[in-house]
Amino acid sequence: MRRLTLILAGLCLSSPALAAVNQQPIEPIDVPPSVEQGLDMVYIDRSIAPSMEARDAQLHELGFEAGRAAPIDMFLPVHPLYTDLRRGLVRYEMEYGNLPQVKIPAGPALKLNSTGDRVVLLRQRLGLPDGTKFDAPLAAAVKKYQGVHGFKADGIAGAGTVDSLNLGYKHYENVLLLNLERARRLPRTTETGRYILVDAGSARLWMYENGRPVDSMRVIVGSHATETPMMAAQLKYLSLNPWWNTPPELVQKSVAPGVVKEGLKYLTDRDYEVLSDWSENPKELDPATVNWQAVADGKEDVRMRRGPGPWNSMGDMKFNMPNDFGIYLHDVPDMERNLFDKDDRWISNGCIRLQDAHRLATWLFGKLPHAQGATEENVDLPDPVPVYVTYLTAEAGPDGPKFRRDPYNRDPALLARYFDEGKQQVAAFNP
């Protein structure tokens, strides 16, 4: 393991304690060597780390081959997602493992009534009787393959589908093994109590009690440029009517240019405050004393925050799990709620936006907490609740596994490292 004094520069940068890292040292964190590629977790809280790290050591001794050769969940407690994926691997092997691994040359999209040598190879690849015509059974087989492998199931074998077929069964078996490894790092079914699981791969959150999910919701997670890391931390308190500490990059790229263009009215119209520093008790500065052009040019920095209200990016509440990544869960303003209806939910600065923050708060506290005033108010949880953030690029259902896109492009490096797959070949599949 390597040790960092600070991991990343804070993806959300909306906590004064986080931003103060430039002023005081932080206890180093052990970073697993594969965390950058997205396999291991960083355990933020020592109350979580010892038991999880001890279990991880057992899992590392078993290795990838164990997931292929033996049902580990029969003799070692694991998360139920592991069992689902392991069964999915068996089903996938039965469905696709014995098909001819022939290569299909590049060319025009193949669809109903197409003919030729490439259709012959496509039929062989999907286990259909020999023939030269793209008929209805072939269209059905293509559509089924697409649904499993993360493509639009239209029954047309375009370039993406053909590239996926050419990666071969072994590639997808390896992807499932990677996801089994990720799932094996989650809490065991024997662990009692409550915890929250966030999967940045599917942009979804689950609430668990006594080893089983009791509720779920969509979330918005980090973009590829500001990825949400794989981590485990303790959710300790809730902030009602939270301030929003504006990320420095947004101050430079958005706020400062707005002030340069519109004057100080830009700040008062949007309820911005300018503060002296990132300490817990900063002084409020007169915005007229700031060189806003220098801030816009990146030559000067300034701390800014936005007060509670309908414009606040935190919405009504923020769920705090102190960590050096600056990652937390939070509500959204009403104007952003339609974003949860979209398929692309990898758009945040790294923090986790909640589809229904009130529902999560009610589950945590037993009732919906209410602020006593209009300014930020912290409410401690009676007992901290662990939050595990993972990253899965495959899921398992009753009909077998389904592969997803890899929004952070983490799989190629892992496949090259552990299975010696060529990075160029692996990167070809990201529908």
Candidates 58, 36, 56; CA nearest to 48 is 56
Token pair 């790294």: residue: 350
User: Three-state DSSP class for 239?
Assistant: strand
Distance CA 172, CA 164 (A): 9
- In this structure, what are the phi and psi dihedrals at residue 78, rounded to the nearest 5 degrees? -140, 175
Distance CA 332, CA 313 (A): 6
- Tell me the C-alpha to C-alpha distance, in Å, between residue 376 and each of 181, 239, 373, 381: 40, 6, 8, 16
Which of 79, 149, 171, 330 does the annotation list as catalytic?
330
DSSP state of 306: E
Distance CA 334, CA 316 (A): 10
Q: Which of 301, 397, 316, 358 is nearest to 81 (CA)?
A: 397
Q: How far apart are CA 381 and CA 322, in angstroms?
A: 13
Instruction: Decide if 351 is catalytic.
Output: yes
| Structure-token pair, residue 384 | 């901290």
Q: Which residues contact 225 (CB under 8 A, 6 or more apart)?
A: none
Residue carrying the six token digits 């340069």: 260
Helix (H/G/I), strand (E/B), else coil: 170: helix
Cα 117 off chain centre by = 42
CB distance 251 to 259 below 8 Å: no
Structure tokens at 394: 């495959």
Find out whether 395 and 203 touch, Cβ atoms under 8 Å.
no
User: Catalytic: 224?
Assistant: no
Task: Encode 339-361: b = buried (16+ Cβ within 10 Å), e = exposed.
Answer: bbeeeebbebbbbbbbbbbeebb
CB contact at 8 A, 150 and 404: yes
Phi then psi for residue 408, to 5 deg, are -100, 0
Active-site hit among 60, 171, 351, 358: 351
Positions marked active-site: 330, 351
